[in-house]
Amino acid sequence: MILASLRANFNGSCRYHAIRGSGISVAGQWGARACSSSPNHPKGSTWELLNRIPTPACLDPSSPQAQETSTSTFFPPEIEALYRGNQRFRDAVAASATPDVLKDLAAQGQRSSDATVGPPFLLLDCSDSRVGEQVIFSAEPGTLFTTGNVANQFHEHDLNSKAVLAYAVEALRVKHVIVMGHYGCGGVAAATLAQEARDEDDPVQAWIAPIRQIYETSERPEIASHRAARRQTGTKVALPHLHDTGFRALVEENVKANVRRIARSGVISNHYKSLEPERTGVFIHGWVYDIESGEVVDLGVTVGPPGRKIPLTPFPLRS
């Protein structure tokens, strides 16, 4: 949609960009396309102002100009879309109420030298491309310290998970750790299917094994009914639908399980034992994002330091 709109604005200007010395020929599978606007695109033109990239050589390969431009390159549309998005982000920051936020963060680091300013959240979510933390919460840079993997898993034996948690709690001194799953999670869906012999060496299958264990042992009615129906149908069943109640329940139970794992981890146990009186301590929350509606719900499983009051959240509660 973004690219279509931009191309319409440029009245069909071509997608070839002359980069001398690139060594990549414009000829080949992309074919030829002539430029409908001025081939020179003078300084200050719409193209130059909006794209902020070298003026394109909108050339017919058979023209004299094309013969002189022996090297040029094509920007794949998906990469060009990222570039344009980056430009919009920079423009939005410059026009915001805090135009120097990036410079300030670059100068002070994620946490200020006096330890008074830093990201309040560590967010562990899924790697799913439909789950964009900064977008979901309209969060400014410096708000979320994030990590993600397939089906938002935390494992004590996973060095990456442990290192991220330790750095967030001990160095950045975050106030909240959030495990955020999402309905429609492919990793959770795969855990509802019978594992075949050929899957034994599959790293994804090994990674989601704890979710499969939840699916096979949970007594939650929605999951138990889903499991019974699957066994009656046999192993050759399709992935569950987005609105399948058993599937959605498993997404929630997976989040709850990971909240418990984090709460029992060595990092959090040591943090609670050595907690200074003046520090509130870290709270661990379990939330779920609805990819269809954009809503975030709180599962009501927050864990905090012993003796400390659990803070309320304004998110809808779903137990």
Q: Which residue has the tokens 């670059």?
A: 106
Query: Which of 15, 125, 126, 285 is flagged as catalytic?
Result: 126
The two beta strands, 73-74 and 16-17, are antiparallel
Beta bridge partners of 146: 123
Q: Which residues contact 194 (CB under 8 A, 6 or more apart)?
A: 230, 235
pLDDT per position as a tens digit, 188-231: 999 999 877 666 788 999 999 999 999 999 999 999 999 999 88
Average pLDDT (2-15) is 38
More confident: 28 or 99: 99
CA–CA gap between residue 36 and residue 10 (Å, rounded): 9
pLDDT per position as a tens digit, 117-164: 689 999 999 999 999 998 999 998 899 999 999 999 999 999 999 999
Query: Which of 182, 226, 248, 261 is flagged as catalytic?
Result: 182
Query: At residue 15, does pLDDT exceed 50?
Result: no
For the chain, the average pLDDT equals 80
Query: Which of 17, 58, 128, 261 is flagged as catalytic?
Result: 128
Contact between 11 and 36 under an 8 Å Cβ cutoff? The reply is yes
More confident: 53 or 119: 119
Amino acid occupying residue 10: F
**Annotation says 114 is catalytic:** no
What is this structure's pTM?
0.75
pLDDT per position as a tens digit, 86-99: 999 999 999 999 99
First-to-last CA distance in the chain?
A: 38
Per-residue pLDDT band for 234 (boundaries 50, 70, 90) equals: low
From 194, 243, 238, select the one nearest 222 (Cα to Cα): 243
**Annotation says 318 is catalytic:** no
Q: Which residues contact 25 (CB under 8 A, 6 or more apart)?
A: 71, 72
**Annotation says 185 is catalytic:** yes
pLDDT per position as a tens digit, 277-286: 778 899 999 9
